[in-house]
Amino acid sequence: MARRIAVTGLKGGCGRTTVAVNLAAALALRGNKTLLVDLDPQASATLSLGARPGRQEATVYELALGLEKNLARAVVPTPARDLHLVPSALRLFGAELELAEEPDRAKKLSALLAKLEEGYSIVIVDCPANFGLLTLNALCACPEALAPIHGSYLSMAAVEGLMEVVEAVNGELGPTTSLMGLIPNMIDKRMGGQGALIKKIEEKYGKSLVRSRIRLDAKLPEAAAAGKPIQIFAPKSNAAYDFEILADDISVL
Domain boundaries, given as residue ranges, for the chain: 3-246
**Sheet with 178-185, edge to edge strand ranges:** 76-77, 83-86, 34-38, 122-126, 3-7, 144-150, 178-185
Q: Distance between CA atoms of 80 and 78, rounded to whole angstroms?
A: 5
pLDDT tops 90 at residue 187: no
pLDDT over 90 percentage in the chain = 63
Please give the single-letter amino acid code of residue 193: G
Q: Distance between CA atoms of 96 and 65, rounded to whole angstroms?
A: 10
What is the DSSP secondary structure assignment for residue 228, as one 8-state letter? Answer: S
pLDDT at 93: 93
With beta carbons less than 8 A apart as the criterion, state whether 120 and 9 touch: no
Q: Provide CATH code, domain 3-246.
A: 3.40.50.300
Q: Distance between CA atoms of 55 and 72, rounded to whole angstroms?
A: 17
Q: Distance between CA atoms of 31 and 193, rounded to whole angstroms?
A: 40
Structure confidence by residue, pLDDT tens digits, 12-67: 778 999 999 999 999 999 999 999 999 999 999 999 999 988 777 899 999 999 99
Structure confidence by residue, pLDDT tens digits, 211-235: 888 999 999 999 999 999 999 999 9
